[in-house]
Amino acid sequence: MAGRLEGRSALVTGAGSGIGLATARRLAADGARVFTVDLKGEVDRLADVTAPGINAELVAAAVARHGGLDILVPCAGVSAFHPLEGHDDDYFDHVMAVNLTAVFRLIRDAVPALKQSPQGRIVTIGSTMARFGDAGLVAYGASKHAVLGMTRSVACELGPFGITANCLQPGAIETPMTEPAFTAMPEFRTYFEKKAALGRLGQPEDVADVIAFLCSDDARFMTGQGFFVDGGAMTRQ
């Protein structure tokens, strides 16, 4: 039986690790031809998504490789705890550059190709941090709120072209991004396990499977939404 994304071409950034890697694998398992990008890892293109002009180049490379572009998943992201006092400008700017500006540029540069697709799909990666705040995560929280807001406006602007745009908002997922904190502070891990109604941390595949659904025809009438994939963490006060 043909996969549900057979014949689709996808571009995934941050695909060298964690959620992006699991997403690239899941989209490919569903039949998509995937062009993968990251700073590191086994990807089609090693690139820094914040480099000037790079996003247009990446879109062009994906289109050249696979003859079009139907699915865009800008998953590259950075996060670290930085107290507000002494928070340096450069780190704030870096978080915004990776988590927000590069996502904006990639979407903007992909619009002409996505318009050619009969079922264009954009899935951005927000966070439960787009609903609440936390100490030490000023830059990260700002970037994830902004990505959700941007995705809603993208959905409105591209809807007339049949392109959907949704924001996937993961809870605490075990990836190389979170592993150092969970290892250094076991109480942090326990806190998130207890917070989730399902009583565990998420795995990258828990998120990737929902991203693949949002990219499929089954999700054709869903757009402009943020979706928590958090094991029920946000349902608990």
Ligand X SMILES: NC(=O)c1ccc[n+]([C@@H]2O[C@H](COP(=O)([O-])OP(=O)(O)OC[C@H]3O[C@@H](n4cnc5c(N)ncnc54)[C@H](O)[C@@H]3O)[C@@H](O)[C@H]2O)c1
User: Is 170 among the residues that bind ligand X (CB under 6 A)?
Assistant: yes
Query: Which one from 70, 107, 140, 171 is the annotated catalytic residue?
Result: 140
User: Is 9 among the residues that bind ligand X (CB under 6 A)?
Assistant: no
Those residues whose C-beta lies under 8 Å from the C-beta of residue 117, and which sit 6 or more positions away, are 8, 68, 69, 70, 162, 163
140 as an active site residue: the answer is yes
User: Which of 114/207 has CB closer to ligand X?
Assistant: 207
The enclosing H or E element of 74 equals strand 71-74
DSSP annotation of 142:
H
User: Is 125 among the residues that bind ligand X (CB under 6 A)?
Assistant: yes
Q: Which of 5, 27, 49, 113 binds ligand X (CB under 6 A)?
A: 49
Instruction: Specify whether the CB–CB gap between 130 and 169 falls below 8 A.
Output: yes
User: Is 48 among the residues that bind ligand X (CB under 6 A)?
Assistant: yes
Q: Which of residues 21-40 bind ligand X (CB under 6 A)?
A: 38-40
Binding-residue total with ligand X (CB under 6 A)? 29
User: Is 133 among the residues that bind ligand X (CB under 6 A)?
Assistant: no
Which alpha helices (DSSP H) does the chain contain, by range? 18-29, 54-66, 89-96, 102-115, 138-158, 179-184, 186-195, 204-215
User: Which of 125/155 has CB closer to ligand X?
Assistant: 125
User: Is 62 among the residues that bind ligand X (CB under 6 A)?
Assistant: no
Two structure tokens written together for 62:
């994906």
Instruction: Write phi, then psi, for 173 (nearest 5 degrees).
Output: -115, 140
| Residue 217 neighbours by CB distance under 10 Å | 10
User: Is 212 among the residues that bind ligand X (CB under 6 A)?
Assistant: no
x-marked contacts with ligand X along 70-89 as a string, rule CB under 6 A: -----xxxxx----------
For helices 102-115 and 138-158, the axis angle rounded to 10 degrees is 20
User: Is 136 among the residues that bind ligand X (CB under 6 A)?
Assistant: no
User: Which of 119/213 has CB closer to ligand X?
Assistant: 213
The full DSSP string for 170-211 is: E-SB-STTTHHHHHH-HHHHHHHHHHSTTSS-B-HHHHHHHH
User: Which of 155/211 has CB closer to ligand X?
Assistant: 211
User: Is 164 among the residues that bind ligand X (CB under 6 A)?
Assistant: no
User: Is 172 among the residues that bind ligand X (CB under 6 A)?
Assistant: yes
Amino acid residing at 106:
L
Kindly list the catalytic residues: 140
Interface residues toward ligand X, by CB under 6 A = 13-14, 16-20, 38-41, 48-50, 75-79, 98, 125, 127, 170, 172-173, 175-178
